[in-house]
Amino acid sequence: IEGRLSDMIKRQRQSILEILAQVEVNIDYPEYDDVEDATTEVLLGKSNEIKTEINKLLDTGTQGKIMREGLSTVIVGKPNVGKSSMLNNLIQDNKAIVTEVPGTTRDTLEEYVNVRGVPLRLVDTAGIRDTEDIVERIGVERSRKALGEADLILFVLNYNERLTDEDRKLYEVIKNEDAIVIVNKMDLDKHLDLDEVKD
Protein backbone atom coordinates (compact mmCIF):
# COMPACT_ATOMS: atom_id res chain seq x y z
CA ILE A 1 0.00 0.00 0.00
CA GLU A 2 2.80 2.41 0.92
CA GLY A 3 4.47 1.77 -2.46
CA ARG A 4 1.26 2.57 -4.35
CA LEU A 5 0.73 5.72 -2.31
CA SER A 6 4.31 6.82 -2.93
CA ASP A 7 3.89 6.22 -6.69
CA MET A 8 0.65 8.22 -6.73
CA ILE A 9 2.31 11.13 -4.94
CA LYS A 10 5.28 11.03 -7.33
CA ARG A 11 2.91 11.08 -10.33
CA GLN A 12 1.03 14.10 -8.97
CA ARG A 13 4.30 15.88 -8.23
CA GLN A 14 5.52 15.20 -11.77
CA SER A 15 2.23 16.51 -13.21
CA ILE A 16 2.57 19.71 -11.17
CA LEU A 17 6.16 20.18 -12.37
CA GLU A 18 5.02 19.75 -15.99
CA ILE A 19 2.33 22.40 -15.55
CA LEU A 20 4.86 24.76 -13.96
CA ALA A 21 7.24 24.20 -16.87
CA GLN A 22 4.47 24.98 -19.36
CA VAL A 23 3.53 28.15 -17.45
CA GLU A 24 7.19 29.26 -17.49
CA VAL A 25 7.36 28.66 -21.25
CA ASN A 26 4.20 30.74 -21.71
CA ILE A 27 5.74 33.57 -19.67
CA ASP A 28 9.16 33.44 -21.33
CA TYR A 29 7.85 32.84 -24.87
CA PRO A 30 4.38 34.41 -25.14
CA GLU A 31 4.37 33.85 -28.89
CA TYR A 32 3.87 30.12 -28.19
CA ASP A 33 0.84 30.54 -25.91
CA ASP A 34 -1.45 29.06 -28.53
CA VAL A 35 0.25 25.65 -28.41
CA GLU A 36 -2.63 23.26 -27.80
CA ASP A 37 -1.32 21.60 -24.62
CA ALA A 38 -0.18 24.89 -23.04
CA THR A 39 -3.31 27.06 -23.24
CA THR A 40 -4.72 28.53 -20.05
CA GLU A 41 -7.86 26.38 -20.32
CA VAL A 42 -5.85 23.18 -20.71
CA LEU A 43 -3.51 24.04 -17.83
CA LEU A 44 -6.44 24.93 -15.55
CA GLY A 45 -8.14 21.66 -16.48
CA LYS A 46 -5.00 19.69 -15.64
CA SER A 47 -4.62 21.62 -12.36
CA ASN A 48 -8.20 20.77 -11.37
CA GLU A 49 -7.62 17.09 -12.14
CA ILE A 50 -4.54 17.11 -9.90
CA LYS A 51 -6.48 18.90 -7.15
CA THR A 52 -9.21 16.22 -7.32
CA GLU A 53 -6.64 13.42 -7.07
CA ILE A 54 -4.85 15.10 -4.14
CA ASN A 55 -8.18 15.51 -2.30
CA LYS A 56 -8.87 11.80 -2.82
CA LEU A 57 -5.44 10.99 -1.37
CA LEU A 58 -6.11 13.21 1.65
CA ASP A 59 -9.48 11.54 2.25
CA THR A 60 -7.83 8.13 2.03
CA GLY A 61 -5.18 9.28 4.50
CA THR A 62 -7.80 10.39 7.03
CA GLN A 63 -9.69 7.12 6.69
CA GLY A 64 -6.46 5.15 6.97
CA LYS A 65 -5.49 7.01 10.13
CA ILE A 66 -8.89 6.25 11.68
CA MET A 67 -8.56 2.55 10.78
CA ARG A 68 -5.01 2.41 12.20
CA GLU A 69 -5.40 4.55 15.32
CA GLY A 70 -9.15 4.59 15.90
CA LEU A 71 -11.53 7.53 15.93
CA SER A 72 -10.36 9.59 18.92
CA THR A 73 -13.52 9.67 21.06
CA VAL A 74 -13.17 11.74 24.22
CA ILE A 75 -15.62 11.33 27.11
CA VAL A 76 -16.03 14.65 28.93
CA GLY A 77 -18.16 16.09 31.68
CA LYS A 78 -17.92 17.57 35.13
CA PRO A 79 -16.44 15.49 37.96
CA ASN A 80 -18.49 12.47 39.08
CA VAL A 81 -20.91 12.60 36.15
CA GLY A 82 -20.22 8.95 35.26
CA LYS A 83 -17.52 9.18 32.57
CA SER A 84 -15.46 6.29 33.94
CA SER A 85 -18.55 4.12 34.42
CA MET A 86 -19.46 4.82 30.80
CA LEU A 87 -15.98 3.83 29.61
CA ASN A 88 -16.15 0.59 31.63
CA ASN A 89 -19.60 -0.14 30.20
CA LEU A 90 -18.51 0.49 26.60
CA ILE A 91 -15.45 -1.75 26.84
CA GLN A 92 -17.23 -4.34 29.03
CA ASP A 93 -14.43 -4.27 31.60
CA ASN A 94 -13.56 -2.43 34.82
CA LYS A 95 -10.44 -0.60 33.64
CA ALA A 96 -11.35 2.79 35.13
CA ILE A 97 -11.62 3.30 38.88
CA VAL A 98 -15.14 4.35 39.86
CA THR A 99 -15.98 5.95 43.23
CA GLU A 100 -18.47 8.45 44.62
CA VAL A 101 -15.59 10.89 45.21
CA PRO A 102 -15.41 13.69 42.60
CA GLY A 103 -11.94 13.91 41.07
CA THR A 104 -11.15 10.18 41.26
CA THR A 105 -9.96 10.15 37.64
CA ARG A 106 -6.81 12.24 37.56
CA ASP A 107 -5.36 11.23 34.22
CA THR A 108 -6.63 10.27 30.80
CA LEU A 109 -7.26 6.57 30.24
CA GLU A 110 -7.41 5.15 26.70
CA GLU A 111 -9.13 1.96 25.60
CA TYR A 112 -10.17 0.61 22.21
CA VAL A 113 -13.56 -0.68 21.12
CA ASN A 114 -15.01 -1.54 17.71
CA VAL A 115 -18.48 -0.21 16.91
CA ARG A 116 -19.99 -1.64 13.72
CA GLY A 117 -16.59 -1.93 12.10
CA VAL A 118 -15.37 1.51 13.18
CA PRO A 119 -12.51 1.42 15.68
CA LEU A 120 -12.92 3.94 18.50
CA ARG A 121 -10.08 5.05 20.74
CA LEU A 122 -12.07 5.95 23.84
CA VAL A 123 -10.45 8.48 26.14
CA ASP A 124 -11.79 8.80 29.69
CA THR A 125 -10.86 12.20 31.10
CA ALA A 126 -10.58 13.86 34.47
CA GLY A 127 -13.60 16.02 35.22
CA ILE A 128 -12.88 19.51 33.94
CA ARG A 129 -13.08 22.02 36.76
CA ASP A 130 -10.98 24.59 38.60
CA THR A 131 -9.06 22.85 41.37
CA GLU A 132 -6.31 23.60 43.87
CA ASP A 133 -5.13 19.97 43.85
CA ILE A 134 -1.92 19.99 41.79
CA VAL A 135 -2.28 16.37 40.62
CA GLU A 136 -5.91 16.84 39.62
CA ARG A 137 -4.97 20.10 37.84
CA ILE A 138 -2.46 18.17 35.68
CA GLY A 139 -5.25 15.68 34.85
CA VAL A 140 -7.57 18.55 33.89
CA GLU A 141 -4.89 19.98 31.56
CA ARG A 142 -4.48 16.55 29.94
CA SER A 143 -8.25 16.40 29.53
CA ARG A 144 -8.21 19.76 27.75
CA LYS A 145 -5.41 18.53 25.47
CA ALA A 146 -7.38 15.37 24.63
CA LEU A 147 -10.40 17.54 23.82
CA GLY A 148 -8.32 19.57 21.38
CA GLU A 149 -7.26 16.39 19.56
CA ALA A 150 -10.67 14.68 19.56
CA ASP A 151 -12.44 13.48 16.43
CA LEU A 152 -15.63 12.99 18.44
CA ILE A 153 -16.73 14.15 21.90
CA LEU A 154 -19.18 12.37 24.19
CA PHE A 155 -20.49 15.08 26.53
CA VAL A 156 -21.99 13.45 29.63
CA LEU A 157 -24.75 15.07 31.71
CA ASN A 158 -26.59 13.70 34.75
CA TYR A 159 -30.33 13.07 34.47
CA ASN A 160 -30.69 13.61 38.21
CA GLU A 161 -29.08 17.09 38.29
CA ARG A 162 -29.95 20.45 36.80
CA LEU A 163 -27.44 21.96 34.38
CA THR A 164 -24.64 23.59 36.35
CA ASP A 165 -22.23 26.40 35.53
CA GLU A 166 -19.57 23.68 35.05
CA ASP A 167 -21.80 22.00 32.43
CA ARG A 168 -22.38 25.32 30.65
CA LYS A 169 -18.67 26.24 30.65
CA LEU A 170 -17.77 22.87 29.20
CA TYR A 171 -20.48 23.21 26.57
CA GLU A 172 -18.93 26.54 25.50
CA VAL A 173 -15.62 24.74 24.96
CA ILE A 174 -17.11 21.98 22.77
CA LYS A 175 -20.10 23.65 21.09
CA ASN A 176 -18.38 23.95 17.69
CA GLU A 177 -16.96 20.42 17.76
CA ASP A 178 -18.43 17.08 16.65
CA ALA A 179 -20.15 16.09 19.87
CA ILE A 180 -22.91 13.83 21.14
CA VAL A 181 -24.71 14.66 24.39
CA ILE A 182 -25.16 11.59 26.60
CA VAL A 183 -27.69 11.79 29.42
CA ASN A 184 -26.51 9.47 32.18
CA LYS A 185 -28.12 8.00 35.33
CA MET A 186 -31.59 7.73 33.78
CA ASP A 187 -32.60 5.35 36.57
CA LEU A 188 -32.58 8.22 39.10
CA ASP A 189 -35.15 10.97 39.64
CA LYS A 190 -35.27 13.51 36.83
CA HIS A 191 -33.99 17.00 37.54
CA LEU A 192 -32.36 17.75 34.19
CA ASP A 193 -34.39 20.02 31.90
CA LEU A 194 -34.08 18.17 28.58
CA ASP A 195 -35.52 21.14 26.66
CA GLU A 196 -32.69 23.29 28.01
CA VAL A 197 -30.19 20.64 26.92
CA LYS A 198 -31.66 20.63 23.39
CA ASP A 199 -31.40 24.43 23.20
Task: Please state the domain extents for the chain.
Answer: 2-68, 70-198
pLDDT value for 1: 46
CATH superfamily membership of 70-198: P-loop containing nucleotide triphosphate hydrolases (3.40.50.300)
66 in Cβ contact with 118 (< 8 Å): yes
Per residue in 39-63, pLDDT (tens digit) is 778 888 889 998 988 888 777 776 7
SS (H, E, C) 1-48: CHHHHHHHHHHHHHHHHHHHHHHHHHHHCHHHCCCHHHCHHHHHHHHH
- pTM, two decimal places: 0.59
51, burial (CB in 10 Å: exposed 0-12, middle 13-18, buried 19+): exposed
